[in-house]
Chain A
Amino acid sequence: MGMKSSTWTSRVSALFLKDFKSELRTRYSLNALIMFAVVTLTAISFSVGMFSLNSKVKASLFWIVIFFSAMSGLAQVFIKEEESKTSTILKLVASAETIFAGKLLYNLILLFFLELIVVPLFIVMLGFSILNYWLFFSVLILGSLGLVCATTIIAAIVAKASVKGALFAVLSFPILLPLLVTLINVTNLASEGASFSHGLRDLQVLFSYAVVMFVASFLLFDFVWEE
C-alpha cells in the first residue's frame, strides 16, 4: 500500500515537473498571467486616482483582479496539451487521476505565484492594509484551493470546445460566485483587523467548498478525459 501510494505521488510529481519545466522554457502562462494582473491593477489604480476606497471595495477589487487573471492563465494547462496534440500520448502514459492531480498542483503553484506578485502590488498601489495577517493568509490559501479545484476541471472541459478563451470565464463565473462572495467577505474582515474567530464561519464555507469541488472534479474528470 505504502509502495503504491509513493509511486502515485511520484507519478503526479513527474507530471507536475513536466509542466513546470515546459512552462519555464516558454513562460507563456506565467508571463500572460502576471502581465494581465499588472495591467488590470494599473487600470484600477489609474481610475481610482485620488479617491480613497474603503476596505470592502478594495477586497472586491483584489478578488476581481485575481479572478480575471486566473481566467486568462489557468486554462492553459489543458489547452496546451490539445494544441500541441500531446493529450493522446498523455492518456497512454498516465491514468486520469494522475493527470488531474498533476495539473491541479501545477495550477495551484501558478496561482500562488500570481498572488505573490499581486498582493504586494495591491498593498503598494492601492494602499490595501491588512491588519490580521493570519486570517488573510488562510483566506488566500483556502481561496486558491477552491478556485483551482473548480477551474481546473472547467479548463479540461474548455480545452475540448471551440471558443476556448471566452468560454472559460463564462463557465467558471457561476460556479465560482459563492466562493468569490465569501472570499471578499473574509478579506474585508482581515483588512479591517477582525479576530480570527470572527472569520471562522466564512473559512468553514471556503474549506467545504474546496473539499466538495475537489471530490466532485476528481470524480467527474474521468468523463471529461476518457473519450
Chain B
Amino acid sequence: MWWKILTGLLISIVVITIFLMPPPQKELGEVSRIFFFHVPVAWVTVLAFLFAMINSILYLSKKDPRYDIQAAVSSKLGFLFAILATLSGAIFAKSAWGSYWNWDPRETSIFILLLIYGAYLALRSAIEAEDRKANLSAVYSILAFITVPFLVFVVPRVFQSLHPADSVINSRIKIQIPFPVLSIFLCSLLGFSLLFIWIYKLEVKIILLDKKKHS
C-alpha cells in the first residue's frame, strides 16, 4: 500500500516541479523539459522487456500459466511505453534536430524494440490454444532478448556517422547535471517504474480473476 502512495507523491512532485523550475538545459530551452518524461518512459520500455524475458524463462521451467500472463502483460505495457517513448522522442527530435525521425542509434533501438513487441503480440494473437500460445511466445521472447546485445553493439557503429547532432543527447548523460535536476529526474525514474509495476500488478490480477470467473 505504502508504495502506491509513494508513486502518487513522486509523480505529482515531478509534474509540478518540472513545469515550475527553469528548463534543465539552456541551449535547448523549454523543449528540454521533455527529458523528465521521455527518459523514464524509455527506461520502463526496457524494464518491461526484461520482465517479459524473466517471466518467459520462469514459464518454460515451471509451466505455471501465471507466468505466461505476467509475460504477456509486461509485453503489452512495454509496447504502450515504447510507443510513448517513440512519440515523445520524435517531438523532441523535431525541435532539436529539425526532423521527427533521424535514425540515430537511440531512435533505431527503440524502434526495434517496438518491432519486437509488435511481433510478440502478433504471434500471441495468431495462436488459439492456450498452452501452445504460452510456450511459443515464451520461446520467442527469450530469442528476441538474446539479440539485444548484438543490437547494442552493431547499431551505433552504423548510424553514428550520420548524426553528429547526437552529442546533444550525450551531453545529458554526463554527470555534470546540477543536483536539483538530477534529483527530479531520479524521482521521475522511480515514479514511472512504480507506476509500471502498479499497472502490471493490476492487469495480472484482472486477467487472473477473469479466468477464474470463466472456468
Interface residues of chain A, those whose CB is within 8 Å of chain B, are: 150, 153-154, 157, 160-163, 167, 170-171, 173-175, 177-179, 181-182, 185, 205, 209, 212-213, 216-217, 220, 223-224, 226-227
The 5 closest A-B pairs by CB, nearest first: A178-B150, A161-B126, A174-B115, A174-B116, A178-B154
Q: Across the A-B interface, how many residue pairs have beta carbons closer than 8 Å?
A: 82
| Whole-angstrom CA separation of A181 from B156 in the bound complex | 11
Smallest CB–CB gap between B113 and chain A, Å?
8
Asked if B154 and A223 sit within 8 Å, CB to CB, the answer is no
Asked if A177 and B112 sit within 8 Å, CB to CB, the answer is yes
Chain A neighbourhood of B116, CB < 8 A: 174-175
Interface residues of chain B, those whose CB is within 8 Å of chain A, are: 60, 112, 115-116, 118-119, 122-123, 126-128, 131-132, 135-136, 138-140, 142-144, 146-147, 150-151, 153-155, 158
Chain A neighbourhood of B132, CB < 8 A: 160, 227
| Whole-angstrom CA separation of A175 from B112 in the bound complex | 9
Asked if A171 and B140 sit within 8 Å, CB to CB, the answer is yes
**A–B pairs, 22, beta carbons within 8 Å:** A153-B143, A157-B136, A161-B126, A171-B140, A174-B119, A174-B144, A175-B116, A177-B112, A177-B147, A178-B147, A178-B150, A179-B150, A182-B154, A212-B146, A216-B146, A217-B143, A220-B139, A220-B143, A223-B135, A224-B135, A227-B131, A227-B135
Asked if B60 and A223 sit within 8 Å, CB to CB, the answer is yes
| Whole-angstrom CA separation of A66 from B94 in the bound complex | 35
Cβ-defined partner of B143 (8 Å) among A175, A179, A181, A209: A175
Asked if A178 and B118 sit within 8 Å, CB to CB, the answer is no
Given A167-B122, A224-B139, list of 9 further CB < 8 A pairs?
A154-B140, A154-B143, A163-B126, A174-B147, A175-B143, A175-B147, A212-B146, A220-B139, A223-B60
Residue of B nearest to A169 (CB): B119
Smallest CB–CB gap between B147 and chain A, Å?
5
Chain A neighbourhood of B118, CB < 8 A: 170
Asked if A223 and B147 sit within 8 Å, CB to CB, the answer is no
Smallest CB–CB gap between A45 and chain B, Å?
26
Asked if B138 and A161 sit within 8 Å, CB to CB, the answer is no
Residue of B138, B144, B146 ringed by the most chain A CB atoms within 10 A: B146
Chain B neighbourhood of A217, CB < 8 A: 143
Smallest CB–CB gap between A99 and chain B, Å?
15
Residue of A154, A162, A178, A185 ringed by the most chain B CB atoms within 10 A: A178
Chain A neighbourhood of B123, CB < 8 A: 157, 161, 167, 171
Asked if A177 and B142 sit within 8 Å, CB to CB, the answer is no
Asked if A161 and B127 sit within 8 Å, CB to CB, the answer is yes
Asked if A160 and B127 sit within 8 Å, CB to CB, the answer is yes
Smallest CB–CB gap between A200 and chain B, Å?
14
Residue of A nearest to B63 (CB): A223
Asked if A181 and B154 sit within 8 Å, CB to CB, the answer is yes
Residue of A179, A205, A223 ringed by the most chain B CB atoms within 10 A: A223
Chain A neighbourhood of B115, CB < 8 A: 173-174
| Whole-angstrom CA separation of A170 from B144 in the bound complex | 12
Chain B neighbourhood of A163, CB < 8 A: 126
Chain B neighbourhood of A212, CB < 8 A: 146, 150
Residue of A nearest to B159 (CB): A181
Cβ-defined partner of B136 (8 Å) among A150, A160, A170, A181: A160
| Whole-angstrom CA separation of A224 from B154 in the bound complex | 29
| Whole-angstrom CA separation of A147 from B132 in the bound complex | 25
Chain A neighbourhood of B146, CB < 8 A: 212-213, 216
Chain B neighbourhood of A185, CB < 8 A: 158
